[in-house]
Each structure stands twice: as C-alpha cells, then as structure tokens.
Amino acid sequence: MAGAVLNKASLPRALQRASVDMSTSVKAARIRPFHCQSNWPSTAPVGVDATRWSAPAQSHIWNNFQPAAMPAFVRSRRAFSTSPTSQHGHIDPPKPGEERHVTFIDKEGLEHTFEVSDGDNLLDIAQDNDLEMEGACGGSCACSTCHVIVESDHYDKMEEPDDDENDMLDLAFGLTETSRLGCQVKMSKELDGLRVRLPSMTRNLQASDFESK
C-alpha cells in the first residue's frame, strides 16, 4: 500500500493529500503535527462510518471513493479543529454573484483557494476546509493559534486590529508587520482575492541518536 507509486502531481489536490496520508512508508517529510493526523481509526468496520474520514467538501473525487477499498488507517487531514460539539466552523456557500476568493498558503507552501461568503472569518474557512489552523480559544481572540500572515496588499484595506487582537498577536510565533488573527478577519468585497500564509514553526526535528545505529 504505497502512495509512492502514485505520481502525486498528476492528481487533483484532495487526492494528492489523501495519497500522502495513505502512504505507510517512513518519511520525515510526512510527519505533521499530531493535530492533523487525528480522525481516529474507527473501531467500527471500515466503511460503516464514512464521515469519519470525510474529505473537503469540494472534493467530488474523494466522495466517490469506495470506502471498503481503503485501509482502516487512512487518515484525512481533518484536525482536532472540527468537532461535532464545536460552535465554530459552519460556513454557508456564497450566494451566486457574491463569491469571494481567499487563498491560504499552507506550511508546505501549497496554495488552497476557496470561494466563500462575506462575513466568513478566516479561522472558520480554514477549519471548514481541513487546513492546519488551530483555534484553541474557539475564535474568541484569547490566544494566538490562528495567526496568519497577509501576503497580498489587502492588509491595508482591513480594519486595524484592535487592542485585544494586537495583545494576542504579541504572543504569536513569527509575528510580522502584516500578521493577523484568522478569527478576526472577516471576508468582504474589499478582501476578494485575499492571500494569507500560515506561519510554520521551524521544528527541524532531529533524529534520535539511535536511528542511525
């Protein structure tokens, strides 16, 4: 069961991601934070609960996958971030003619563009689309785990961050001049085409002493 035989670049994005997760081979590059490897393997027989490894909503390919054909250990990128009990994360599809576009650049440098509605905030959008963004305080501007860096010139079109947001940004890792909290940035006509980057902790994991032995 090796994703290695697949030419990832030729696959649609959602499937690319799936193929990475399906691989059982050992590659350091695959190691991601725990939170994006959740979606616990079900104790139920494979295929009973297909929603457990649901894919991004826009992925038709994924939806057409035959669950029974997939190994039990397949994990989606669905993070802790979206729990059934959680209050955030509900995003309605945009009304025709009012689609706004936002692009997230993830920690691996991959771009993900979504069509969203006015008023959606970046944390909800990211979590609804299985991107790796935490929101430890549930989007209440009380932590800095949804930190994003605005890459496009939309930063100046946004309302200034208020004191509360700035207070939290002060604690963010890798703060920049155009840093914002995802939970505080709401999409609007002015922000159509917004591009934001998810900051990455440079963790550069060192191997255990014993690995080379």
Partner 1 sequence: MYEQLPVPYGLVRFGVAPDHPEVKNCIEKFEEVASSPRFLYIGNVTVGRDVALKSLKPHYDAMLFSYGASEDRKLGIAGEDLKGVVSAREFVGWYNGLPQFQALEPALENGEEVVVIGQGNVALDVARILLTPVDKLRHTDITEQALETLSRSRVKSVRVVGRRGPLQAAFTVKEVRELMHIDHVQFEPINRSLYPPDIKKLPRVQKRIGEVMLKGTPPLSSHSTNSKSWALDFLKAPEQMNASSANSRQLSSIDFTHQTFAPDTDPFSKTAKVLPTEETSTLPASIAFRSVGYKSTAIPGLSDLGVPFDEKLGIIPNDQYGRIINPSTGPGSLTAGHVHGLYCAGWVKRGPTGVIASTMDDAFTSADVIIRDWESEVPFLNSPESDKSTGLGWYGVKDEVIARGVRVLDWGDWLRVDEMERLRGKNVGKEREKFVEVEDMLEGAGFVNFSRRG
Please choose, from the candidates 146, 144, 108, 109, the residue with its C-alpha nearest in 3D space to the C-alpha of residue 127.
146
In the chain, what is the straight-line distance between the N-terminal and C-terminal CA atoms, in Å? 27
Least separation, in Å, of the C-beta of 18 and partner 1?
19
Decide if residue 127 touches partner 1 (CB under 8 A).
Answer: no
Decide if residue 161 touches partner 1 (CB under 8 A).
Answer: no
Least separation, in Å, of the C-beta of 158 and partner 1?
18
- By DSSP bridging, strand 100-105 and strand 111-116 are antiparallel
Residue 71 CB burial class (10 angstroms; 0-12, 13-18, ≥19): exposed
Least separation, in Å, of the C-beta of 189 and partner 1?
30
Identify the DSSP state of 194: E
Stretch that binds partner 1, among 59-67, 97-105, 120-128, 129-137 (CB under 8 A): 129-137
| C-beta of residue 59 within 8 angstroms of C-beta of residue 14 | yes
Decide if residue 33 touches partner 1 (CB under 8 A).
Answer: yes
Of the pair 11, 74, the CB lying nearest partner 1 is at: 74
Decide if residue 207 touches partner 1 (CB under 8 A).
Answer: yes
**Considering Cα of 201, then 135, then 76, then 38, what sign does the dihedral take?**
positive
Q: Which residues bind partner 1 (CB under 8 A)?
A: 26, 28, 31-35, 37-38, 40-43, 80-81, 83, 85-86, 134, 136-138, 140-145, 163-164, 166-168, 170-173, 175, 201, 203, 205-211, 213
